[in-house]
Amino acid sequence: MFATAALFVLASLTTSVLGDQWCEAESYKGNQFLQGFHHMSFSDPTHGRVNYVDQNTALQKNLTFASGDHFVIRADHTTVLDPNGPGRDSVRLESNNVYMNHVTIWNIRHMPQGCGTWPAVWEFGQNWPYQGEIDILEGVNDHSSNQATLHTTADCTVGGARNETGISLGTDCDVYTTGNAGCTAQNPTADSYGPAFNANGGGFYAMERSERGVRVWFWPRNSKHIPHDVYHGLNEVDTDNWGTPFAHFPSTNCDMDSHFGPHNIAINLTFCGDWAGIPSIYNADGCPGDCVAYVNQNPAAFVNAYFDVAWLKIYE
Ligand SMILES: *[C@@H]1O[C@H](CO)[C@@H](O)[C@H](O)[C@H]1NC(C)=O
Ligand SMILES: *[C@@H]1O[C@H](CO)[C@@H](O)[C@H](O)[C@H]1NC(C)=O
Ligand SMILES: *[C@@H]1O[C@H](CO)[C@@H](O)[C@H](O)[C@H]1NC(C)=O
């Protein structure tokens, strides 16, 4: 969520989309993720009990694995950690390219689960929070269902005209007045996150960022309502045929151009830290003892702490 110094390529500048038809710009499956994304090995800005490794280390330790239509990133699940040493090995990926208005569709089979886990699929501008952040899939400690969130500077609110199936957990997106909480919509169904998501074989997450705001949809794998263009990852998609999103952040009272810049796409898995590790949250989520001690001492608890992504498509 915090800006990091990183080299990036301004691959795609803003295209003003008037309709709701979007054309495929990029497609990632298996090994292609290693071309389009880089591993970020730096310390977690949210103070997690994590050690992000570089690509060579990740491949060598099989924390990153690409084959066919499987792209897997995971945490170490065999090492008992020295309490005075670095945190649990894990992976954080960022896209090489940046995106203005766009649509992403993620076909995800499995996501990290377990006490202490804090996984996220999200997008952000390097000059954080001035260029904004969009969290698509995020949560902690297997708690409840997914939350989609915007983080911005002042004068971005999304009350009033929200047309969404989710539950609003805040309408002011300003990180400074909300203690960094931002504005959130929670998915109404448990299978949008963690163990229930995984038991179902995952599903499809889609996000649209346009002049009209941001919308996020989720269809579980066994849903009868997955749009044809989403299910097949067609070259052209029409977001107006996708039904009501679970999260709707209209631009009515949030000027998109002044709050959102070029975004990198990121996928990461941290432990404990500023959300998952807060004792009142960690214990309320039914997790035992102290988060950091749990992560240090119980490698086997993280055997299911992995993403398995079938594909990602990006439309502009
Ligand atoms: C992981 O992603 C979430 C997305 O919201 C972000 O808040 C958090 O800072 C990220 N953690 C790290 C260590 O990058
Ligand atoms: C590496 O990880 C993949 C995906 O989790 C798994 O299928 C494969 O068997 C692992 N390879 C080794 C050598 O452990
Ligand atoms: C809400 O969004 C859906 C999907 O785009 C649309 O069909 C419906 O008419 C919208 N409802 C309102 C009240 O705007």
What is the spatial distance between Cα 259 and Cα 168, in angstroms, rounded to a whole number?
20
Q: Is the dihedral of CA 222, 228, 233, 237 positive or negative?
A: negative
Testing ligand 2's pocket by substitution, the residue of 31, 61, 62 carrying the most ligand atoms inside 8 A of its CB is: 62
Testing ligand 1's pocket by substitution, the residue of 2, 216, 267, 268 carrying the most ligand atoms inside 8 A of its CB is: 268
Q: How confident is the model at residue 187 (pLDDT cuts 50, 70, 90)?
A: very high
CATH 3.20.20.390 fits 10-315, yes or no: no
How does pLDDT run across 104-162, given as a tens digit for each residue?
Answer: 999 999 999 999 999 999 999 999 999 999 999 999 999 879 999 999 999 999 988 89
16: pLDDT strictly greater than 50? no
Both tokens assigned to 130 = 């001035």
What is the spatial distance between Cα 283 and Cα 312, in angstroms, rounded to a whole number?
34
What is the spatial distance between Cα 90 and Cα 146, in angstroms, rounded to a whole number?
21
Lowest mean pLDDT, pick from 39-53, 54-68, 157-171, 235-249: 39-53
Atom index in ligand 1 nearest the CA of residue 118 equals 1
Q: How confident is the model at residue 19 (pLDDT cuts 50, 70, 90)?
A: low
In the structure, which protein residues have their CB atom closer than 6 angstroms to any atom of ligand 3? 163, 240, 243-244
- The arithmetic mean of pLDDT across residues 217-234, rounded, is 98
**274 phi, psi to nearest 5 deg:** -70, -10
User: Domain coordinates of the chain in residue numbers?
Assistant: 10-315
Is 138 an annotated catalytic residue?
yes
How does pLDDT run across 188-223, given as a tens digit for each residue?
Answer: 999 999 999 999 999 999 999 999 999 999 999 999
79: pLDDT strictly greater than 70? yes
- The arithmetic mean of pLDDT across residues 264-286, rounded, is 92
In the structure, which protein residues have their CB atom closer than 6 angstroms to any atom of ligand 1? 1, 44-46, 48, 92, 120, 122, 135, 138, 268, 270
* Residue identifier of the C-alpha nearest atom 14 of ligand 2: 62
| Contact of 2 with 42, CB cutoff 8 Å | no
pTM: 0.92
| Contact of 255 with 211, CB cutoff 8 Å | no
Pocket flag, ligand 2, residue 311 (CB < 6 Å)? no
Count of other CB atoms within 10 angstroms of residue 68: 9
Query: Residue type at 273?
Result: G
| Percent of the chain at pLDDT exceeding 90 | 88
Which residue is associated with the tokens 């800005």?
Answer: 45
- Bridge pairing between strands 88-90 and 50-52: parallel
**26, 123, 138, 164: which is the annotated catalytic residue?**
138
- The arithmetic mean of pLDDT across residues 90-105, rounded, is 98
Pocket flag, ligand 2, residue 78 (CB < 6 Å)? no
**94, 133, 164, 208: which is the annotated catalytic residue?**
133
Residue 57's SS3 state is helix
Short-list 262, 250, 186, 181, CA closest to 215: 250
7: pLDDT strictly greater than 80? no
91: pLDDT strictly greater than 60? yes
pLDDT computed for residue 14 by the predictor:
40
46: pLDDT strictly greater than 80? no
Q: How far is the CA of 77 from the centre of ligand 3 (A)?
A: 44
What is the spatial distance between Cα 258 and Cα 153, in angstroms, rounded to a whole number?
9
